[in-house]
Structure 1
């Protein structure tokens, strides 16, 4: 383990997070923001869209098959089971049962995918239940109908994600695909994924390399997404600048 790895263990930040400093009144060792999750201590409340003006203008219909999901759709969880007897479903949000929660609570339109099936569903009501989300979908009126949705992945349009509080907070989905370079301008690769190790998020960066026989292969770098290493995130330029040497 490198010195940088051992140093990073003392700054537990989650997924979408500030890269410059902690918020006023917040302990430096406390978790900050996570992708698809709320600020620690903030209340997560049930969202009932059935009485909203936009909901009233859209008739309650059944869950309908569609040809495709929107281009900006992001998978945020999956339906684990039916919940109760009145057609509610239980959703497990991705990543430690938390990420995806706020998007599921705020979005009025969901897309359900299982194999080659694509369905569109209007969410009438959703709320937190332990580490899961339970929801009532238009056209899903009994337990048998809800149970038939078990195993479907749930997608939400990126435009329906809750707005983050500042420009220094990021959703994972917005970081994937960004080029990464260090402060000397050396290209380190591109963000392929992020990992939540329980203490903070880690950028998983892929770059072209060669194996011991000189054949092309894909290399990997893991850089903790914490302020001591991540200096700037420029989404417009699709670039992240880090304090990290190319040979780490």
Structure 2
């Protein structure tokens, strides 16, 4: 069900199926959510190749660190690494191409590295890290997740654009004030983003379970997003 538009890095388009009574031709928010695609340009953040660059072991990550992908392989012979950006809402592409500092995690191993250069390569991102000089060094980083400080994410173009990571955890209610749950994740179906909302429920035996709602993240349904209040208001009945 999930696909990724790596060309634009955005979710847009019309919804696949309207809810009961909804006009199929109704407009959507368009490019409402920036998802983890990547701009197809190389970004060189190194003014010079500093000989003192090293990959350092650290105790902890910054408080605003966000996991954006993972290193799958070495790329070439000169120490470049290949990174697969996450496509499930934990932002990738644009942040990987713009951030100057990466944090790498594998189990209890935590490292800090300066990103000297990064660019898009097919469906992945390849990067040169300070202190990673050859293929063997790059291979030693295979399997590490890549984290970027949220403050290093590129600025969005519009107030109606949001990074997925900023929506996860927001409470969702409808226009009548009925609580529908909390955003657990987002899904990309190729045409637009979908909010995956979890809420407390009970099964037929009265046992507590976690319910799930899927709401297309388009303007037909999503009326307001108030990040300060940690709330999303939608046109959606609780029994849909």
Flag as ranges the 4+ runs of structure 1 deviating above 6 A: none
Partner residue of 1:37? 37
The Cα shift of 1:142 comes to 0.5
SS in 1 for 2:166: helix
Q: Taking structure 1 as the reference length, what is the TM-score of the superposition? A: 0.82
Task: Verify: 1:50 aligned to 2:46, yes or no.
Answer: yes
The Cα shift of 1:221 comes to 0.7
Over aligned residues, Cα RMSD in angstroms? Answer: 2.4
Task: Verify: 1:7 aligned to 2:18, yes or no.
Answer: yes
Deviation string, structure 1 residues 22-51 (Cα, Å, up to 9, x no partner): 4xxxxxxxx66532436xxxx632111111
Residues of 2 paired with 1:186 and 1:102: CA distance?
A: 36
- Determine if contact 2:91/2:165 at 8 Å carries over to the other structure: no
Task: Verify: 1:65 aligned to 2:57, yes or no.
Answer: yes
SS in 2 for 1:71: coil
Deviation string, structure 1 residues 107-143 (Cα, Å, up to 9, x no partner): 0000001111111010011111111111110000001
The Cα shift of 1:63 comes to 0.7
- Determine if contact 2:66/2:148 at 8 Å carries over to the other structure: yes
Q: Taking structure 2 as the reference length, what is the TM-score of the superposition? A: 0.84
Partner residue of 1:167? 159
The Cα shift of 1:198 comes to 2.0
- Determine if contact 2:33/2:164 at 8 Å carries over to the other structure: no
Deviation string, structure 1 residues 139-162 (Cα, Å, up to 9, x no partner): 000010001111111000000000
- Determine if contact 2:32/2:160 at 8 Å carries over to the other structure: no
Residues of 2 paired with 1:83 and 1:102: CA distance?
A: 20
- Determine if contact 1:123/1:136 at 8 Å carries over to the other structure: yes
Mark the runs of 5 or more structure 1 residues left unpaired by the alignment: 12-18, 23-30
Residues of 1 paired with 2:120 and 2:187: CA distance?
A: 24
Q: Which has the higher helix share?
A: 1
Task: Verify: 1:146 aligned to 2:150, yes or no.
Answer: no
Taking the TM superposition and a 5 Å limit, the aligned residue runs for 1:1-248 are 6-7=17-18, 21-22=29-30, 34-37=34-37, 44-51=40-47, 60-95=52-87, 100-248=92-240
Residues of 1 paired with 2:34 and 2:52: CA distance?
A: 33
SS in 2 for 1:221: strand
Mark the runs of 5 or more structure 2 residues left unpaired by the alignment: 1-14
SS in 1 for 2:165: helix
Name the stretch that deviates more: 212-221 or 137-146: 212-221
Residues of 1 paired with 2:152 and 2:40: CA distance?
A: 16
SS in 1 for 2:151: helix
Aligned length: 220
SS in 1 for 2:59: coil
- Determine if contact 1:182/1:241 at 8 Å carries over to the other structure: yes
- Determine if contact 1:36/1:161 at 8 Å carries over to the other structure: no
